[in-house]
Structure 1
Amino acid sequence: MQHLEKESFETEYGVSGMVRERREQYEPTFTRNIAIGVVLCILSVIPTIMAGVMEVEDYMSGISVGLLLIIVSIGVNILIRAGMIKSSYDTLLQEGEYTKEEKHLKKKTDSFSGAYWCLIVTIYLGWSFWTNNWKFTWIIWPVAGVLYAAVLGMVKMTIEGRKK
């Protein structure tokens, strides 16, 4: 599967048409499953809210949290399964994030990503050991995550700008 996600390939005659047809048949199911998964995740808090409003016993509050987790897990399971099937069609058709251009761009940005996160780990460990303030230095991770998205976007723009 990794080969299909990372390398460009050509399908045999008729395969793309068949996959496209199956994807079109799956589209209403995908939409329905995404809606069901999201609704379940949103509604999962109802047992806990009801337990809080009704001021039930502690063990009932625990049961309501258990129900919340069960409902969320069912919703997330539906979301992941629907997404995996849709992603497999996109992979075979080389569409979305699996286009030949995106695969080529990803190969070029992979080395940047590895270097970036190694640098962040080095900064985190150096700062943490130097100051011995482990309670505060964790803040580097959310900052690095947001910064990564911005810097990766700029790297992609630079790479795409060189192509033109």
Structure 2
Amino acid sequence: MKIIKDYLDSLFLTVPVTAETQRAKEDLLAIMEDHYYELIEEGKSEHEAIGAVISEFGSIDEILAALELEREEIDEEEYLSAEQVTLDDAFDFWAATRKFALELSLGILLMFFSMASIFMVESYGVIYAMGILGFFVFAALGIGFIISGSMKYVREKRKLKDRSLVKEIYREAFFQLEDYDKSFRVGLVLGIGFCILAIPLTIIFSNMFYVGLMAGSLFFSTIGIGVFLIIYSSIIRHGFKKLTNGQYFVSNNHRPTRATRASYGNATPLIITLRKFYWPLVALFYFFWSTVTNAWEYSWIIFVIAGMVDSFIRESLKRSK
């Protein structure tokens, strides 16, 4: 069961990776899965069985004590002093995530409608006027939704930034994530389907019905609907996934101090320094190299290589979990 495995992974975040702990983790996973299937055979529903399995297993300290293993030293005082994220906070965040997903994806859809309106400008009279009006109206509304939704979502994430996550949050987040997985798959498949459908629709309208303007508008409109579905479902799923990773809530890819320390330990100062200077130096090197060699057409590869180096450094410095 993936949800049980993910939950167990979250419990072992601060446990050093050794042959002994890995074996203990695998044994514990087997026990939890066996218990899950026993509950299913007793007539429990899938969610009831998962909830019972997770509830019956104690904290990581209790599990390690039973297995006679030790947990890696972390700053417990700092962890406990950090205001914990409550279930109410989590549900508020998920509600804000759904709203942001709708506003962002709707804004992007309107931008596609704006591009679709451009094709009507090539006509005359009323259609020309509708194309001009549609372009500016859809673009203005789209930008408004994107900016407004993004700003409100950033404020919601800031409320939880660097706050500690507790066992109940992990468990509820895993449940919500599993509940939403079916909807996510449907949204993803439909979204990809609309994007693919845009090509044959364009060919049909341009070649069979000889409506070139309509074909171009229809192409961007259909692509926009597909992108809307993909982005909307992906953002909501990411909101649930965000509360299943790590000991602290991370509002963006630049992890705050507590979350960084939990991941990198003594290498935290180096990681923080790397964040501040690495990419600005890469950008400066890109412009310097491109100017000196006049190799603008392929010098962008510098960013690809820099990304690979950055990932390698971060993984190398990450503390054993």
> Is TM (by shorter chain) over 0.5?
yes
Stretches of structure 1 lacking an aligned partner (at least 5 in a row): none
The separation in 2 between residues aligned to 1:2 and 1:67, in whole angstroms, is 39
Counterpart of 2:311 (choices 142, 153, 158) is 153
Q: Render the CA deviation track for 1:24-55: whole Å, top value 9, x for unaligned.
A: 22111111111111111111112222245448
The separation in 2 between residues aligned to 1:15 and 1:158, in whole angstroms, is 29
Hey, what does 1:104 align to over in structure 2? 263
Percent of pairs identical after alignment? 21
Please identify the structure whose Cα radius of gyration is greater.
Answer: 2
**Corresponding position: 1:137 with 2:296:** yes
2:236 counterpart letter in structure 1: I
Hey, what does 1:39 align to over in structure 2? 193
**Corresponding position: 1:28 with 2:186:** no
> Is residue 124–residue 137 contact of structure 1 (8 Å, CA) maintained in 2?
no
Q: CA RMSD in A?
A: 3.4
TM-score (ref. length: structure 1): 0.69
TM-score (ref. length: structure 2): 0.39
Q: How far 1:2 sits from its partner (Å)?
A: 4.8
**Corresponding position: 1:17 with 2:171:** yes
Hey, what does 1:69 align to over in structure 2? 220
Number of equivalent positions: 151
The separation in 2 between residues aligned to 1:110 and 1:77, in whole angstroms, is 35
Classify the secondary structure of the residue corresponding to 1:44. Answer: helix
Counterpart of 1:80 (choices 200, 210, 231) is 231
Q: Render the CA deviation track for 1:92-146: whole Å, top value 9, x for unaligned.
A: 2227xx7968x835x7656535533322332343345556x5xx425322x0232
> Structure 1 residues 70, 124: closer, same or farther in 2, change over 3 A?
same
Hey, what does 1:120 align to over in structure 2? 282
2:162 counterpart letter in structure 1: E
> Structure 1 residues 37, 121: closer, same or farther in 2, change over 3 A?
same
Stretches of structure 2 lacking an aligned partner (at least 5 in a row): 1-156, 251-258
> Is residue 47–residue 67 contact of structure 1 (8 Å, CA) maintained in 2?
yes
Classify the secondary structure of the residue corresponding to 1:75. Answer: helix
> Is residue 48–residue 65 contact of structure 1 (8 Å, CA) maintained in 2?
yes
**Larger RCO of the pair (alpha carbons < 8 Å, separation 6+):** 1
The separation in 2 between residues aligned to 1:109 and 1:45, in whole angstroms, is 45
Classify the secondary structure of the residue corresponding to 1:68. Answer: helix
